[in-house]
Amino acid sequence: MSLTDDVRKELIANIQRIRTSAREPYANVDPATGVMQDRIELSDFESVEYGSRVVRDRGAHIVRDRLLTDMPLSNRDAGISAEHLRGYPLFPVDGNTPWEYWIYPEVNGGIEIVFTSLTRGGDFDYPTPLSIRAESRANAVVWNQRRPEDIVNRAIGREPSLFELRRGTLNFYSALADFRGEQGQTRLEIYYGLPVPEQSKTTRFERGLALFDTTWTPVFQKVEPFSNISDHTDKIVDRLTVNIPPGRYYLGVQVHDTAGNKLGTQRQAIDVESYAGDGLMLSDIELANRIGEQKADSLNIIPQPSKSFSAGQPIAVYYEIYGLKKDTFGQTRYQMHYRIAPAQGQAPAVRVLQSVGKLLGIVSEKEFTVSYEQVGETESELSYLEIDVTDSAQGMYELEVKISDLNANVQVAKSTTFKIID
């Protein structure tokens, strides 16, 4: 849907008031022809175009089966340029008045709610159309149809069960790792974890995920109960897996305590790696609480989303190798190198509990280093390491995994960090 010329003129006139007087409302009209130099379309208003703006985190709200990410744009967050009309409200607001609007892409087919304040730092409320300007009176019908409070009321009337009041904040951990998926896609795994107080062990939790591409088009959205794959009674851990094309995404995750009506949310931009094609590649490193073999080529992995381990708790490391080269006998031959170094202080005291391959050697001076050699028959391999850090000092550590393909004489490496706590 596009806006009429009269409506465009009024929007532009009010926007221009941030940098021109009320007597100069049409600074972007070509003086020679009298033709508007800018056109405003609904498709112009894309929050992704304004990555430099400060985003105020008012939370994301999961209700039933969807996650609604609130993404405000505000004239308090960045300077307004009259030459660039993207990112301004489709409702007339005085450019000199503090304003912001919020986009809810999944409510009633997508709605935009505008708020204004009488003073900077003051409370925000619904705006009213400016009535002193001739074009405001001419467009009164249009603005009455687009009154933000009416838009909200219509949305509530059509989807009355969509909204739920958030009463408290729930803290939780999340972590990500990506692996090779099917048909050229990447398998993205999101790990959730939260400690559960003694009195809340029977509380029902839900976990949700919303994934958007760089145009803020929804790619994947899901809300469902925790399945709790952990075998510990003092924590809840779960995993959600989605296969997507590689590239940049905006990710929102949340956990909802349905009994206590508490909600925790996290948002971030992520880059999902491609594992398509030939050549040696290494997946992300997944830190786990435990890794156990279920059957051939199948492992039972309990992730550790917090990436924090107590001194007496084993640390499990899981990763996948792709693109190994076979020799003339159809075998692969490669080495796995592990290096663990402290952010500061002495080298960690590490003991290997289980691994794959033939042990080549261990070095522990300023850092712990261990190497294994393995022979296989497939170009892709699953690999893991489990270590004991009981005698290591508390603090942050870096773990690096390096794979050397001895047949192709190439290497690839990735790293992650973890923390040893009391």
pLDDT tens-digit readout, 289-305: 888 776 556 788 889 99
More confident: 112 or 62: 112
Percentage of the residues of the chain whose pLDDT score is greater than 70: 68
The answer, yes or no, to whether residue 391 has pLDDT greater than 60, is: yes
The answer, yes or no, to whether residue 164 has pLDDT greater than 70, is: no
The answer, yes or no, to whether residue 233 has pLDDT greater than 90, is: no
Q: What is the C-alpha end-to-end distance of the chain, expressed in Å?
A: 59
Predicted TM-score of the model (pTM) = 0.62
Give the residue among 162, 152, 140, 150 at the shortest CA–CA distance from 65. 162
Average pLDDT over residues 235-246: 91
Q: Which of 28-37, 60-69, 152-161, 251-260 has the highest mean pLDDT?
A: 251-260
At residue 211, the pLDDT reads: 92
Please, are residues 421 and 309 in contact by the beta-carbon 8 Å criterion?
yes
Q: Enumerate domains of the chain plus CATH numbers.
A: 5-158 (no CATH), 166-275 (2.60.40.10), 277-422 (2.60.40.3880)
Q: How far apart are CA 68 and CA 60, in angstroms?
A: 6
More confident: 150 or 81: 150
* DSSP three-state, residue 344: coil
Res. 236 pLDDT band, cuts 50 70 90 = confident
The answer, yes or no, to whether residue 315 has pLDDT greater than 50, is: yes
At residue 198, the pLDDT reads: 44
Q: Which of 1-5, 55-59, 87-91, 303-307 has the highest mean pLDDT?
A: 303-307
pLDDT tens, 319-336? 999 999 999 999 999 999
* DSSP three-state, residue 253: strand
At residue 228, the pLDDT reads: 82
pLDDT tens, 22-61? 333 334 445 555 554 444 333 333 333 222 222 323 333 3
At residue 21, the pLDDT reads: 31
pLDDT tens, 352-389? 888 888 888 888 778 899 999 999 999 999 999 999 98
More confident: 249 or 145: 249
The answer, yes or no, to whether residue 89 has pLDDT greater than 60, is: yes
| Chain CA centroid to CA 415, Å | 20
pLDDT tens, 93-140? 766 677 777 877 777 778 888 888 766 666 778 876 555 455 556 667
- Phi-psi bin for 340: left (phi > 0), alpha (psi -120 to 50), beta? beta
- Phi-psi bin for 297: left (phi > 0), alpha (psi -120 to 50), beta? left
Mean pLDDT of the chain: 75
Instruction: Identify the sign of the CA torsion 151, 157, 159, 160.
Output: positive
At residue 403, the pLDDT reads: 96
